[in-house]
Structure 1
C-alpha cells in the first residue's frame, strides 16, 4: 500500500497567532464623534453650519461640514491613523485644501473652528 496524504479542501490553520486584520475602513469612535458633534451642535445653534456628511474611507475618516447642502464643505475634520505617529491623526481642512490645524489631540484641533473657544484679545 502506498501512504498518500489526504486531500485538503482548506489551507492548514496557522499554528502561530496571526496579527489582527487591518480594518477595511477607518471610522470615528464614540468619543471622537461626541467631541465633533458637540462642536457641530454649537455651530448649528449659532446659525453658522446647517448640514454634515460622514465618509469612512480605507485610509481616513472624514466629517464634512456644510453651510448649505448644495455647496462644497466649509471644513473637513479628518482622521488619518497612518499619520498618528508623525503629524497627528486629526486635521481640520478648509474648502481650498488648506490645513488649519493638525495634531494628536482632537479637542485642540477642533478648537480652530469652535467659536465658543475663540476670544477677542484686546491690547
Structure 2
C-alpha cells in the first residue's frame, strides 16, 4: 500500500529507511537485509534495524544525510532536512517533521531517497 512519507511511523518507517539505504528484499519478500547485517522482518515483532527509535542507528543517518534539525518551540514537531539532489550549484532539499527527532530524520531521509510516497507491505501497517 502506498503511504505518504510524512505519515510513516514505527516498523513501516524503519522498513522505508532500510529501502532508502539500499536494502535488498530477501526470502520471497519477507525480509529486508542491509549489508551491515541488520534486517527487518515483516512477519515478526523482532527486527534489528530501528532508526526511528534507536539513536545508535539514527546517528549514522545524521552523519551521512542530515543537513538540519530544528524545533521552533517545545510544543512543535521536530523538522529535519536532507539534500535530495544537486545539479551544478543548485540543491533540492526534502523537509519532513516528526514528534521525535529520530522520526523527523528518518522521514527526511526516506523523502530524499524515495519520494513523498512509499510502497509499504500491508503486514507492516497492521503491526502498528
TM-score (norm 2): 0.26
Higher helix share: 2
Higher strand share: 2
By relative contact order (CA 8 Å, sep 6+), the higher-ranking structure is 2
TM-score (norm 1): 0.27
